[in-house]
Copies of this chain bind each other. A is one copy, B any other.
Amino acid sequence: VTSSGLVIIGGSDAGVMAALWAKDRAPELPVTLVVRHAYPNFSICGIPFYVSGETPEWPMLAHRTVDDLEALGLRLLLNHEATGIDPIERSVTVIDRDGDALTLGYDMLVIGTGAEPVRPPLPGIDLPGVHVLHTIDQARRLHDVVLDGTKRAALIGAGYVGTEMADALTTRGLEVTVIEMAPAVLTTFDPDLGDIVGAELQRHGVTVACDQRVERIEKHGDGSLRVVGTPNLDVAADVVLVAVGVRPETELARHAGVHTNERGAIVVDRRMATNLEHVWAAGDCVHTHHILVDKPLYLPLGTTAHKQGRIAGLNAAGADHAFAGSCGTQAVKVFELVAARTGFRGIEAQAAGFDALSVTVEVDDHKAYYPGSTKIVTRLTGDRRSGRLLGAQIIGAYGAEISKRSDIIAAALHHRANIESLNDLDLSYTPPLSSPWDPVHVAAQAWLRAAR
């Protein structure tokens, strides 16, 4: 086994970013990317739009093609599965499609094995017609089923993926039911805000079944599936999609002696270093430093994977960067609505020990005298004791600059702003796009009044 520079396990966001930024810092460094499938650098976040037909061809979902990546000097081992890491020998064993093994020496190793969708232990979960969606192959299978005349879809789980897929399948003409255990869809938002998105789903014909616990999936004589549960769940469907979250895929790392936490996520420091020398990790397989708390959280997100991958790659190539941390920023478009959040909402802030106060304002996205204004709901959360900004949830129309308004809050959070200073920001105004006091300011002012 001879050393082969930097070896990266995983060809998704974190792995590819580690490769590209390592090359950026050290152009001569040999970089090998071990990819289990044939689709490196694919946008998993784009799958709903391929299923909906808005993205006509699945190869369009690639951030970069294989040719792009090879042109950047990366060695790609596609359809190669890493089966073992030897941290003493500094080598990785990989197996190709034919089952042939290969041992790769490394100077530095980045683990970017990502996450896998949770498959709840439900009777019927393995029935044909029950889909879990995480890979391009799975997406292509579902896409073909949808085009094959499928009429009714049941979605178990109404988080980001579930609500986006409800939109996508409705757009394809299916009758869609979303099933959610929690009292409202979009469970990373406060339930009354999730209800706004729930109403948007219903407005487009989606049946929304919240507060329902799935007990089993049944197959009936006519070939149709039924999702059955309590208190009163019985949904007939031709296709069932399970989207109840992901868990870190870290078995390979654990077997090599890499420390993981109680959730199974790899433990890393701010430099993305694991407990093993020369071994780094990034992306959905690691826990995440959150800027508002010292305790690491598990927040698997593509944006975070990009940033962590960058840090891991730079450091593996000899730099000394630290991951600045996540605010838990997320955005989703569901039909005509956009919902974005950043930082903590009230319940999360309270759990983290803050004296959380949340206020909600509903104001025009821009001056009502200019055509097309719509109402934006902004809920701002801050710490009553210190006045510190803790987070925001913003919902409004697609086109109303919802996501980048949330990013104003994210930028302020990053700098540990208080809510007074949020109100002081010199934000842009022109009547077609805002008001002299932006909705962000109006929310800050309402918070300050409520906190008196």
State the A residues within 8 Å of B (CB).
13, 24, 43, 45-46, 49-50, 54-55, 60-61, 63, 291, 302-307, 324-333, 338, 340, 342, 367-371, 398-399, 401, 403-408, 410-415, 417, 421, 424-434, 436-438, 440, 449
Let me know if A331 and B436 touch, CB within 8 A: no
Query: Are A401 and B398 also in contact (CB < 8 A) when A421-B324, A433-B338 are?
Result: no
User: Whole-angstrom distance between the alpha carbons of A332 and B368 in the complex?
Assistant: 17
Q: Is the CB of B428 within 8 A of A406?
A: yes
* Contact, CB under 8 Å: B370 / A46: yes
- Beyond A46-B369, A49-B370, is A414–B426 a contact (Cβ under 8 Å)? yes
In the complex, the answer to whether A369 meets B49 with C-beta atoms within 8 Å is yes
> Which of A63, A370, A413 has the most chain B CB atoms closer than 10 A to its own CB?
A370
25 CB-based A-B contacts, threshold 8 Å: A24-B449, A45-B431, A54-B370, A55-B369, A302-B436, A303-B426, A329-B428, A331-B430, A331-B433, A333-B430, A340-B428, A403-B428, A403-B430, A404-B433, A404-B434, A407-B425, A408-B410, A408-B411, A410-B425, A411-B411, A411-B417, A411-B427, A414-B415, A414-B424, A414-B426
- Do A438 and B55 touch (CB < 8 A)? no
**Minimum C-beta distance from A6 to chain B (A):** 20
Query: If A370-B49, A430-B45 touch, does A407 touch B325 (CB 8 Å cutoff)?
Result: no
Nearest residue, chain B, Cβ from A309: B436
CB distance from A314 to the nearest CB of B (A): 11
Q: Once the chains bind, are A412 and B415 in contact (CB under 8 Å)?
A: yes
A170 to chain B, nearest CB (A): 16
Residues of the B chain whose Cβ atoms lie less than 8 Å from the Cβ of A367: 43, 46
Which residues of B are found within 8 Å of A415, using beta-carbon distances?
411-412, 414-415, 417, 421
Please state if A428 and B407 are interface contacts (CB–CB under 8 Å). yes
- Alpha-carbon gap, A278 to B293, bound state (A): 45
In the assembled complex, the CB of A121 is this many whole angstroms from the nearest CB of chain B, namely 31
